[in-house]
Chains A and B, each alone.
Chain A
């Protein structure tokens, strides 16, 4: 019994080698030898194979991964996933997913062929990316900062393949940010989106007291806090912002406790940037409303309105789909280059979700927020990226 084990392993291994060898041959046929700069020399639209590796959230997370998949499958390829296979999407279906500010951006399918691999555990990231490279994709996309290491490793190992990394720059082992010629990274100006929802929160607040719930106290979340507080100060300098951090991203109970604390202390609009803890914040606000309090919550990353339609004022949106689509489009035009891309309000990378609830003075508030958007876009207002910059250089209204 014991002796047969190594043989089993060996035969499995050789089968694996065979399979991957076959794959390589297959992929090599349509694209030619993948040597110096194959993708840069305008690949034919027919063979524009684009791979994508999700993080452990996977398809159906209503957030980060689904947004990235929309950018590739629906916008880039004109396809939708239905019952485990791709179907062609109608132009109407595509149009439905384009918010007003994206409608004029000329988003239309560029004939990409999506190859999607889902990651079940973090250990999947690297092999999944390598598999895509072996499949001969023209671009391999890693969704989320958790794939940073994997993208870095695989990109260095395969200098001829192209990569897109969402939400993180490349960071070397000693903590320095750097770029690789074959990796594009997309980051977002979360502080700008937070600035707008901050202004909206202040305008919707009746007792001039709003709250911010952060997850872990890390620079990324501090960016949200700084933008939010600047937004409040821009429209209501006299308003108070209560700030509280849960210290985690995965403890809903802690999020709810912090949310209740802020509501009890009089905050009537609460913004969260706390991952799963945020679901607890939404829950706290929902319960406070059930108890007769007039309070709202602001979601983050994707439109969280469906979690509590009457309680969610709006959500700060991060357009992962746009970052993915633009890379795919650039690839189809043969102009995808390495380096860092940062998407803010101006580029449509961040914004806020449609306001579906009613509050007194809604129309004027939205108008005011749109005025602020124009000022941030034109550069008239510089939104701080860390709370320490708030007192030093307050955002001018």
Chain B
């Protein structure tokens, strides 16, 4: 029994970081009032560039390059949505399409259709003290990114709710004109949030190609970016909520896989497809039941124009 639980937890810890980084990225952007459905595309860019950079440079450098690539995609999004006030959903979808096609094109012309050559995976930390303690030993044997994923949501929470910058970021998502009357730059704050969002999504993608796998594979991230948006909504646009939602989704996935091989009889009663769809069904349920008391930022999706009221 203990072994099964440990396997579940270990699996959860391995797969939630990529989802979490992307969900935090989406949260950051949307708290500032800019819808970011381009997370999937930013992840793809991050995953691809991280793997390509890691072929020649050490893998941690690759991760940084992946973050920059995500920020680069986000810069396009910011340019269209903040500078030219275009429709944020359309721009985000365009990012996804460009990343999908562009990634495939570059991959094929550089390395062939299947994926980049293998790179050195990020080092896994085996902690000598922990590996003897039951349950806690599941923390051993993961990359540094798993540890970052366990710390980052709390740091992000502190930033958003305990610092002046955090207050301003939240304010531009709720009442941008109020922020403007204080003499602060609404567009500047939104640019900051969108670029940060791209870096986090890029980090999520880089996690896939450098920690989970050891190469960029043609389909990466295979819908994980949309799952991250679901985690953001499920977590009610807060960092700690996104953290719990990402853990919950990853645990649900691990549980489904664990049950399938341990209790094959169960899947004859509950169809696989239902379990696969569960995260999205839960997200829809959350959206449906919160009714009037929506937790989304008030100015979300509204381009900022100084003259409008």
Contacts and interface: CB of A to CB of B under 8 A. Distances in A.
Given A245-B260, A256-B212, A261-B258, A276 B272 contact: no
Nearest to A217: B272
Given A58-B113, A247-B276, A283 B11 contact: no
Interface stretch (B161-169, B213-221, B301-309): B213-221
A283 B257 contact: no
Interface string B193-230: 00000000000000010001110011110111000000
B222 A257 contact: no
Given A257-B253, A280-B213, A242 B261 contact: yes
Contacts of A60: 112-113
Given A247-B273, A250-B219, A251-B223, A257 B113 contact: no
Contact of B222 (A217, A243, A245, A252): A252
A256 B217 contact: no
Nearest to B267: A245
Q: Which secondary structure dominates chain A's binding surface? A: mixed
Interface residues of A, number: 31
Interface in A243-285: 243-245, 247-248, 250-254, 256-258, 260-262, 264-265, 276, 279-280, 283
A258 B257 contact: yes
B264 interface: yes
A252 B254 contact: no
A268 to B, nearest CB: 14
A57 interface: yes
A261 B213 contact: no
A101 interface: no
Given A251-B222, A265-B262, A244 B257 contact: yes
A256 B222 CA distance: 14
Nearest to B3: A264
Given A257-B11, A283-B213, A247 B254 contact: no
B294 interface: no
Contacts of A279: 115, 213, 217
Contacts, number: 82
Nearest to B223: A251
B18 interface: yes
A82 interface: no
B114 A253 contact: no
B237 interface: no
B15 interface: yes
Contacts of B112: 60-62
A276 B219 contact: yes
A58 to B, nearest CB: 6
A248 B222 contact: yes
B14 interface: yes
Contacts of A248: 222
B114 A61 contact: yes
A276 B11 CA distance: 20
B22 to A, nearest CB: 13
Nearest to B126: A291
Contacts of B3: 264
A250 B257 CA distance: 17
Given A61-B114, A245-B272, A258-B260, 17 more contacts: A61-B113, A243-B260, A243-B261, A244-B260, A247-B276, A248-B222, A250-B218, A252-B212, A253-B15, A254-B222, A257-B11, A258-B261, A260-B11, A261-B11, A261-B258, A264-B7, A265-B261
Interface of B: 3, 7, 10-11, 14-15, 18, 108, 112-115, 141, 208, 212-214, 217-220, 222-224, 253-254, 257-258, 260-262, 264, 272-273, 276
10 contacts: A58-B108, A60-B112, A243-B264, A250-B218, A252-B212, A252-B217, A252-B220, A257-B254, A264-B3, A264-B7
Closest 10 CB pairs between A and B?
Answer: A250-B219, A251-B222, A244-B261, A242-B261, A264-B7, A60-B112, A252-B217, A244-B260, A261-B257, A247-B276
